[in-house]
């Protein structure tokens, strides 16, 4: 029992509720949300040290023994994502201070931001499949509000699509949970793993597994990404960056959890399907990224390419590949936030998102330009930046598992990704300067600091990859050895 | 606009609302061992409030019940979560609850449970959200 496990969920929840009560004082809201997210970040780092020393930390809510109660489980994989999430959320929050606008701030922007984090952190920490559904809903409902808050025409149009898609996928999620419960009689992830290992993963169980895969693919934008480019280009920059950095990652986390802990017995079916979907996602995403001339669209398609790459690590299902996926997942959270913020800043300055209408920004904004350049290299996986190590390990893992085609697609799409972001760089920053400083639509005042932090993080992660290797390999070990998770949750008690 | 003649509705509401409220309190407290509880009790209270909003207009009721129901919901959730946090100080799992028997004047031997505090939070959250939902729909014409 370790009550600290619940803190990353309840700190943003409590703070969000307090901020609902004190709606009028904007300064108070800003500071308090900053403090809350920083507190979550430090809690997750503390949890990380605990897990390193004493293994996975668990909490049985209300003291009800697993599998009867709801378990919360903090393993290294979840906590690494938790820490990265808090860092990125902090940066996006600071960016929002300078860009989101008073109107949105006074209509519950900060509480919704915190509730979004409640849902995300809950999804990472929960050890119960129904609880995972609830945390997904908390996250999704907050994201509906954040997406539509402000009520511009494009936001409302995209919100309708986004809400519809997600309601359908939530319905399928519930259906899949019901099937699973009917077949195994339990909802606790560790207990599910035990039961399925006992009776074997037969055809019916694999079908349910694929239903789960469809559900999470909709959330993670794995192949079923038709909704993503539209809805991620509608909200204001800070919100779009949080969505791009975090929301698909939660879906991916759920796929990782389900297909390493519960449905790991038939990798030649399920993991091959994940691999094929991952490959298709990368190819289609890269096509989208090079096809468009709209910054927002290009960046949104880059999110999709990242999803495909991370999933091919899971498809390979070797120790190297999973380690690579975790590295890349951490990198992807940071770099997607950074590149969305940078792209948003360019749009903020020029007042347009069409690349053909902007040019020569480097003369007036050299820092933004060079930051974009470094971020673009990191996104494509150029050493020594943070994307490199993950990409290498994933590629190596896919080759080890003889999925040469998958590794090949990964490398090929990296080039297309590099082309797509370099297109933004060359068109946006090079060439004749069209706008003089007083003709610009906005300033970068207050926006540089959070982007600088994220940039420093991607550089540090690239150079310090060795430093966190111990943690990442521990996370990979936790994923590859389900018995560790099961023992942490159920203990050595006789199985009911 | 001609004022509608809804004297029957007014008269019935004045009698019915206290009865509904009393019944919802009964539901709320019986929930500890029998069917009922914070969620259902909260919904019943919200239904009494909705009846008031229907019979009299929103402005009149707002002038008499001067609370923002969004804040009520927030306080409810806060209360519910904070009773869970209380278990931090007793080295128990989050959301653990306890109860004991006390000899109270008038009531005699009574079971007092910390779960009731949690339930109060649930009830407030339900009242807050349901009334807010109904009010925002009714304002939208």
Whether residue A376 lies within 8 A of chain B, CB to CB, comes out as no
Q: Pick the residue with more confidence: A22 or B5?
A: A22
Contact A20 B85 (CB under 8 A): no
Report whether pLDDT(A493) > 70: no
- Which residues of chain A does B96 touch, with a Cβ-Cβ cutoff of 8 Å? 62-63
- Picking from A416, A411, A219, the residue whose alpha carbon sits closest to that of residue A312 is A411
Average pLDDT, chain A: 91
Cβ separation B93–A14 shorter than 8 A: no
pLDDT for the residue numbered A407: 92
Q: What is the pLDDT of residue B62?
A: 82
Q: Domain map of chain A by residue range? A: 3-490
Nearest-5° Cα angle at A82, A80 to A86: 120
Please name which of A304, A173, A202, A349 lies closest in space to residue A263, comparing C-alpha atoms: A202
d(CA B94, CA A255): 28
The answer to whether residue B1 sits within a structural domain is no
* CA–CA gap between residue B109 and residue B104 (Å, rounded): 6
Within 8 A of A62 by CB-CB distance, chain B residues are 93-97
Q: How far apart are CA B84 and CA A63, in angstroms?
A: 11
Flag if A10 and B77 touch (Cβ within 8 Å). no
DSSP 8-state class, residue A294? B
Residue B88 included in any domain: yes
Q: Decide if B94 and A18 are in contact by the 8 Å CB cutoff.
A: no
Cα–Cα separations (whole angstroms), residue A178 to A1, A121, A166, A175, A181: 29, 24, 18, 5, 5
ipTM for the whole predicted complex goes beyond 0.85:
yes
Total Cβ atoms within 10 A of residue A168: 12
Nearest by CB to A6, which of B73, B94, B97? B94
| Predicted pLDDT at A351 | 84
Mean pLDDT of A82-88: 95
Mean pLDDT over A8-27 rounds to 92
CB within 8 Å: B78 and A3: no
> Domain range spanning residue B32?
7-139
Backbone φ, ψ for residue A160 (5° rounding): -60, -45
Which residue in B94, B113, B118, B133 has the most chain A C-beta atoms within 10 A of its own C-beta, making it the best mutation to test that interface? B94
Count: domains in chain B: 1
- Considering chain A, what percentage of its residues have pLDDT values greater than 70? 99
**Does residue A360 surpass a pLDDT of 90?**
no
Contacting residues of A for B95, CB less than 8 Å apart = 61-62
Query: What per-residue confidence (pLDDT) applies to A279?
Result: 94
- Other CB atoms closer than 10 Å to residue A280's CB: what's the count? 14
The pLDDT of residue A122 is: 96
Cα diameter, chain B: 65
Instruction: Give the mean pLDDT of A339-364.
Output: 88
- Whether A18 sits inside 8 A of B74 (CB atoms) is yes
Structure tokens at A303: 């999110």
A71 by DSSP, 3-state: which?
Answer: strand
pLDDT tens digits along A414-454: 999 999 999 999 988 888 877 776 677 777 777 889 999 99
User: A104 in helix, strand or coil?
Assistant: helix
Tell me the per-residue pLDDT of A275-320, one tens digit each, with 9 for 90 and over: 999 999 999 999 999 999 999 999 999 999 999 999 999 999 999 9
Which among B28, B68, B64 has a CA at the least distance from the CA of B44? Answer: B28
Judged by average pLDDT, the poorest of A196-210, A211-225, B16-30, B109-123 is B109-123
Q: Which of A85, A15, A13, A1 is nearest to A44 (CA)?
A: A85
């Amino acid at each position: 029992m370790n009550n600290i496990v619940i803190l990353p969920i309840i700190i943003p929840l409590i703070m969000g509720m307090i901020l609902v009560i004190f709606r009028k004082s904007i300064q108070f809201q800003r500071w308090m949300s900053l403090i809350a997210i920083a507190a979550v970040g430090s809690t997750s780092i503390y949890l990380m040290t605990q897990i390193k020393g004493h293994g996975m930390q668990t909490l049985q809510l209300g003291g009800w023994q697993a599998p009867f109660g709801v378990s919360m489980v903090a393993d290294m994989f979840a906590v690494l994502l938790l820490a990265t999430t808090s860092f990125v959320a902090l940066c996006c929050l600071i960016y929002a201070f300078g860009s989101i606008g008073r109107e949105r701030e006074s209509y519950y922007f900060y509480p919704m931001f915190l509730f979004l984090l409640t849902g995300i952190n809950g999804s990472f920490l929960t050890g119960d499949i129904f609880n995972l559904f609830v945390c997904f809903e908390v996250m999704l409902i907050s994201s509906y509000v954040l997406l539509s808050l402000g009520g511009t025409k494009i936001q409302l149009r995209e919100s309708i699509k986004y809400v519809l898609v997600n309601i359908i996928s939530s319905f399928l999620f519930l259906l899949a949970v019901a099937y699973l419960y009917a077949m195994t009689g339990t909802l606790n992830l560790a207990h599910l793993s035990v039961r399925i290992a006992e009776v074997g993963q037969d055809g019916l169980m694999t079908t349910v597994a694929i239903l789960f895969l469809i559900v999470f693919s909709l959330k993670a934008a794995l192949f079923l990404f038709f909704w993503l480019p539209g809805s991620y280009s509608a909200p204001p920059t800070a919100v779009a960056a949080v969505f791009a950095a975090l929301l698909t990652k939660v879906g991916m986390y759920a796929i990782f959890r389900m297909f390493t802990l519960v449905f790991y017995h038939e990798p030649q079916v399920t993991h091959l399907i994940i691999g094929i979907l991952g490959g298709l996602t990368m190819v289609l995403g890269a096509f989208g990224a090079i096809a468009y001339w709209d910054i927002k669209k290009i960046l949104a398609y880059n999110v999709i390419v990242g999803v495909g790459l991370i999933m091919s690590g899971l498809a390979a299902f070797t120790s190297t590949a999973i380690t690579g996926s975790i590295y890349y997942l951490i990198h992807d959270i940071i770099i997607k936030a950074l590149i969305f913020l940078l792209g948003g800043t360019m749009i903020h300055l020029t007042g347009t998102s069409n690349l053909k209408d902007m040019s020569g920004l480097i003369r007036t904004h050299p820092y933004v330009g060079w930051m974009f350049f470094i971020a673009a290299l990191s996104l494509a996986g150029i050493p020594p930046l943070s994307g490199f190590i993950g990409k290498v390990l994933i590629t190596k893992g896919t080759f080890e598992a003889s999925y040469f085609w998958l590794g090949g697609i990964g490398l090929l799409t990296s080039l297309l990704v590099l082309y797509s972001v370099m297109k933004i760089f060359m068109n946006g920053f090079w060439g004749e300067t069209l706008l003089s400083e007083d003709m610009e639509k906005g300033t970068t005042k207050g926006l540089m600091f959070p982007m600088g932090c994220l940039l420093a993080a991607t550089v540090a992660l690239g150079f310090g990859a060795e430093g966190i290797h111990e943690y990442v390999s521990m996370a990979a070990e936790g994923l590859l050895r389900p018995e560790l998770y099961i023992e942490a949750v159920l203990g050595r008690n006789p199985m009911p | 606009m001609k004022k509608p003649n809804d004297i029957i509705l007014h008269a019935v509401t004045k009698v019915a609302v206290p009865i509904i409220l009393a019944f919802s309190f009964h539901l709320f407290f019986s929930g500890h061992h029998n069917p009922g509880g914070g969620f259902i009790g909260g919904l019943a209270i919200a239904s009494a409030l909705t009846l008031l909003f229907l019979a009299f207009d929103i402005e009149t009721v707002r002038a008499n019940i001067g609370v923002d129901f969004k804040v009520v919901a927030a306080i409810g959730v806060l209360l519910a979560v904070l009773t869970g946090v209380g278990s931090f100080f007793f080295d128990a799992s989050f959301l653990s609850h306890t109860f004991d028997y006390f000899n109270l004047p008038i009531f005699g031997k009574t079971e007092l449970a910390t779960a009731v505090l949690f339930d109060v939070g649930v009830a407030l959250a339900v009242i807050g959200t349901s009334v807010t939902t109904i009010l925002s729909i009714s304002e939208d014409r």
